[in-house]
Amino acid sequence: MIERIYIPTVRRADNQITFNNLPKAFQERVVMVVEPDERHLYNYPCEYLEIPEEMVGAWNQLAQTRLLIHKHAGAIKYCMVDDDIKIKRRNSKYWTDISNMEKSKRDATDEELLECFDSMSRWLDESDIGVTGFTSSGMFPSDTPYKETYGVYSIAFIDGRKLSKIIDKIEIAPEGLRISEDVLFIFECLANGLNTRVSNEWLYYNTSCLTKELDGTRVIWEGMYGDEEQPDDFDLTDENYDALKFIQKKYPHGISFSERNGKRSNTKKWKSVYRPKTESSLESFF
């Protein structure tokens, strides 16, 4: 079972999209992770975890917050999810040739979310899987139900029984990394034998990136610019590429950059970073 659902959140006390779209059974497992000065603004029926005062306003606040969550969770199976996520389900026709809905994808029902979380929990019980997640709803469907050794973004299911054994020796919150910290986390997991699995059936829809309703509330990204004009695509900014180059210094074989016709791109080579555990070392996780 996924015992806890951690939702780190800043400046969105009145607009908790992820929480409001979870079934009641899951809302009772939520731990909202908030800044101490904002705690009084949150009135949701769940648990709360306040980050230390010294973390508030730090350049790498999000990465530090995620490290705090990993250590707070300890040796349990848990979920860490952004506060602006809706979960969708994709039509199974893409990998079974049998359609199970009218559309290509739609919002997941409460009953389906129970099924989804149970699937993530079972995957984490496999000896080599340490992190699981979903495909972005904007990605083209695959012809397989899942893919392994891949990036996990926005919503991650984590086996703390495995992660807690290496948490103190991996690098999650380096001082110079404000964004793309999720890339570094997955690289660190893969390099230490914890594989990833990403579902093609279950999808995340990031409302702050894809809709206008949360404009001006992406504190981690938008806070880099002050009163300057916000870029349309944060993924293509110098700041994002500087973060990826920071990570590339530790994993030179994990990221490559290219530019064509004035447009730059990057490729994350997850499988190049993965170092599978031997059978004997996997047994030591349990």
Contact between 207 and 85 under an 8 Å Cβ cutoff? The reply is yes
Q: How many CB atoms sit inside 10 A of residue 97's CB?
A: 8
Amino acid letter, 136: S
- Could you report the per-residue pLDDT of 48-104, keeping only the tens digit for each? 999 999 999 898 999 999 999 999 999 999 999 999 999 999 999 999 999 999 999
d(CA 190, CA 96): 29
In the predicted model, what is the mean pLDDT of residues 273-280?
80
Q: Which pair of structure tokens corresponds to residue 175?
A: 């001082």
Query: What is the dihedral angle through the alpha carbons of 9, 242, 132, 7, rounded to the nearest 10 degrees?
Result: 0
- Higher per-residue confidence, 152 vs 230: 152
Contact between 150 and 198 under an 8 Å Cβ cutoff? The reply is yes
Give the range with max mean pLDDT: 107-121, 204-218, 254-268: 107-121
- Could you report the per-residue pLDDT of 29-62, keeping only the tens digit for each? 999 999 999 999 999 999 999 999 999 989 899 9
Contact between 197 and 123 under an 8 Å Cβ cutoff? The reply is yes
Q: How many CB atoms sit inside 10 A of residue 63's CB?
A: 25
Contact between 282 and 194 under an 8 Å Cβ cutoff? The reply is no
Contact between 130 and 159 under an 8 Å Cβ cutoff? The reply is yes
Global pTM? 0.89
Q: Which whole-number Å values give the CA distances from 54 to 178, 203, 263, in the listed order?
A: 16, 35, 39
Contact between 15 and 34 under an 8 Å Cβ cutoff? The reply is no
Q: What pLDDT, on a 0 to 100 scale, did the predictor assign at position 197?
A: 98
Q: Is the pLDDT of residue 282 over 80?
A: no
Ordered by where they begin, the domains of the chain are 4-214+235-283 (3.90.550.10)
In our burial notation (b when 16+ CB lie closer than 10 A, e otherwise), range 147-175 reads: ebbbbbbbbbbbbbbbbbebbeebebbee
Report percent pLDDT > 70 for the chain. Answer: 87
